[in-house]
Structure 1
Amino acid sequence: MYKTLRSLLLCASLGALPFAAAQAAEGPTLRIATEGAYPPFNYYTADGQLAGFDIEIGQALCQRMQAKCSLVAQDWDGIIPGLLGGKYDVVIASMFITEERKQKVAFSNPYQKSAMTFVVSKDSELKDFSPAAMAGKTIGAQGATTQADYLMAMFPESDVRLYPTQDAVNLDMASGRLDAQVGDMIPMLDWTLKSEDGSCCRLAGEPISDPKYSGEGVGIALRKEDEQLRQQLNEALAAIIADGTYKAINDKFFSVNLLTLER
C-alpha cells in the first residue's frame, strides 16, 4: 500500500534518510486537494474527471518529484480545515498567499501572480469603483475568499452578496441580479472572453492589487510542519519553470503569462 508523502517525510526525518531515497523505495503519494469549481483553473470534465491549470501543474510537480498524484475535491470553505486535519498533503487551488492564511498554513513559492478585478455588464455606466460611488450598489463575490474579505472591508455601504461558488456569482451577474462582482482577474478575463454566459460582461476599473487582499501571489498551501515537503515543491516548481513545462501548461489555458500577468 502506498504511504502518503507526509508519512514518508516523517520517516525520512526520523531516520536521517533523504526524501529522494525514501520515495524511490516506497513510491509515495502526494494527496492534492483542489476545489473542482473554478474553471479554467480547476473543474470537472463531462466524464467526471478533475481538470484544469491547477491540476496539470500538480501533475507536473508530482512527475518531477517522482511521486504519485492523488486528487481530492474539496469545497472551498473547508479546504484549509481539511488540510490541517490531514485529509490531504497540499492544496493546489489558485489560493492567494495572504498574511491571514499564513497564520494557519505554509506556502510554496508563488506559481501565479495575483490580482482581482471588478466585472460589470457590457452596458453598465459604472466607471467609479470607489466605496462612495458604489454605495447602495449590489456587488457579488464567492464567500470565504479574499474577494469577499475585500468587499466586506472596503464597501460597507454596498449590498455585498456572497455565494458558495464562483459559478453561482457568475450566474447572478449574467442574469442581471448584480451591479458588479469582484473576482480573480485571470478567471474573470477567461469567463468574459470565452464563455457564452460571460459574454454579457466586461472587466472594469483598475486591477485590485493591494497585497492585503490580493496577497503575494498564488501558492501551494501545506501544513507548517512539512518544511521538507515545501522545499521539495519549490525545487520542483523551479524545475518545471526552467524546462518549459510550466509555459506549455500556461499556454494551453491562457493567452496571459500567469507569472507576470503580461500578454
Structure 2
Amino acid sequence: MRPTPPLRSLLWIAVAALTLGGCAMAPPQGAATSRLDAVQKAGVLRICTPGDYKPFSFQKPDASYEGIDVDLMAGFTASLSVKPEWVKTTWANLLPDLRAGKCDMAVGGISVSTDRQKVAFFSTAYMVNGKTPIARCADVAKYQTVAQIDKPEVRVIFNPGGSNERFARANFKQAKLTLHGENVTIFDELLANRADVFVTESAEAITQQKLKPGLCAINPDKPLQYGEMAWLLPRDDVAFKAYVDQWLHLSLASGEFQRVMDRWLK
C-alpha cells in the first residue's frame, strides 16, 4: 500500500529558536553599512534561487517562480517596502553567486550545513526536513535503510552541487551512483526504471509522490539523516541577519508562516 504519512509529522522549529535568532546585536557604531540599508535604498531585494526544487522554489515556463520560499519572500520584501528580483542560479553556483554579490540572499529549500556556514550566514532554521529516499512504490520495502540502498545492484541517482550529492557520495560506497544534471527530471528517471532510488528532503519526496503517481516517499517522518532548512545570507552582516530572523519569528507567531506551509504541504 502506498504510504501516506501525516504532513504534520514534518516538525517545525520552535518559536523560541526563532526568537533567539532575532536577538543578534546591531553592528558597532562606525561599522560598514548593512545590506539592509542598501536594499531599502535601492528598492529591490535580489534573491538567488536554483528554482528547481518543489515545493520551495520552482521556475515555471513563463519564467516566474512559485513555492513556499517564493510566498515567504513576498511577505518579507513587503516588510521592507521593496520589490523582489529573482536571480536564477544553480546549486553548484549558489554560494559563489551570493559571495560575488549577484544577490542579497538565497532561498529555495537550502539545507543548513557547516560547510556553507564557513563562508556565509544562515537565517534561523525554519523547518526540520531530513534526508528521505523516494523510489517506485513497488520497491518501498527494499529501500528502508542506508544499508539496504548501499548494494552493488542498486542504482542511486542524485543532482549535483548540493546536500543531496554530498549525502549520496558519503553514504553509498557500493551502490551504482549516477549524477543527473536536472533536478526537475530526476523523478522521471525513477519512473522510467533508469534509476532505483533518489535521496532528497522529506518535503520534496512527499510533494513528488503526489505529482508523480507510481513514486513513494519512504518513511518521510523518520528520515535517514536529520536536516534543517534556512535562508542563506551574506557573511558578517549581523544587522541584516537580525532583521531576517525577527521577520521569521513574527511571521510564525502571527500564523502567516504556517498558512504558507499549509498551502503547499497539505
Mark the CA change 1:248 to 1:13 in structure 2 (over 3 Å): closer, same or farther. farther
Does 2:103 correspond to 1:88? yes
CA distance in 2, matches of 1:113, 1:168: 25
Q: Which residue does 1:179 correspond to in 2?
A: 196
CA distance in 1, matches of 2:157, 2:122: 28
Cα offset, 1:133, TM superposition: 5.6
Structure 2 residues not aligned, in runs of 5+: 1-27
Mark the CA change 1:130 to 1:94 in structure 2 (over 3 Å): closer, same or farther. closer
**TM-score, scaled to structure 1:** 0.81
CA distance in 1, matches of 2:145, 2:235: 37
- Pairing of 1:2-17 with structure 2 (within 5 A): 14=30
Report which stretch shifted further, 200-209 or 222-231: 200-209
Picking from 44, 52, 68, the partner of 1:29 is 44
Q: Which residue does 1:226 correspond to in 2?
A: 237
Mark the CA change 1:249 to 1:13 in structure 2 (over 3 Å): closer, same or farther. farther
Aligned partner of 1:202: which letter? C
Q: Which residue does 2:59 correspond to in 1?
A: 44
Q: Which residue does 2:255 correspond to in 1?
A: 244
Q: Which residue does 1:131 correspond to in 2?
A: 147
Cα offset, 1:23, TM superposition: 7.0
* Cα shift readout 1:200-245 (whole Å, capped 9, x = no counterpart): 111225633534xx3xx11111111211110110111111112222
Q: Any conservation in 2 of the 1:131–1:157 contact (CA below 8 Å)?
A: no
Aligned partner of 2:181: which letter? P
Q: Which residue does 2:112 correspond to in 1?
A: 97
Cα offset, 1:164, TM superposition: 2.1
Q: Which residue does 1:6 correspond to in 2?
A: none
SS in 2 for 1:81: helix
Report which stretch shifted further, 83-92 or 114-123: 114-123
Q: Any conservation in 2 of the 1:95–1:219 contact (CA below 8 Å)?
A: yes
Aligned partner of 1:169: which letter? I
Aligned partner of 2:242: which letter? Q
* Cα shift readout 1:112-143 (whole Å, capped 9, x = no counterpart): 22211111211125144333663111111211
Does 2:171 correspond to 1:157? no
Q: Any conservation in 1 of the 2:107–2:231 contact (CA below 8 Å)?
A: yes
CA distance in 1, matches of 2:39, 2:118: 30
Q: Which residue does 2:159 correspond to in 1?
A: 142
Cα offset, 1:98, TM superposition: 1.0
Cα offset, 1:32, TM superposition: 0.9
Aligned partner of 1:190: which letter? T
Identity of aligned residues (%): 16
CA distance in 2, matches of 1:167, 1:23: 31
SS in 2 for 1:77: coil
SS in 1 for 2:119: coil
Cα offset, 1:187, TM superposition: 1.2
CA distance in 2, matches of 1:93, 1:153: 23
Aligned partner of 1:246: which letter? F
Q: Any conservation in 2 of the 1:97–1:219 contact (CA below 8 Å)?
A: yes
Cα offset, 1:20, TM superposition: 8.3
Cα offset, 1:107, TM superposition: 0.5
Aligned partner of 1:35: which letter? P
SS in 1 for 2:147: coil
Q: Any conservation in 1 of the 2:144–2:218 contact (CA below 8 Å)?
A: no
Count of residues in Structure 1 that have an aligned counterpart in Structure 2: 236
**TM-score, scaled to structure 2:** 0.80
CA distance in 1, matches of 2:214, 2:136: 6
CA distance in 2, matches of 1:32, 1:18: 16
Q: Which residue does 2:225 correspond to in 1?
A: 210
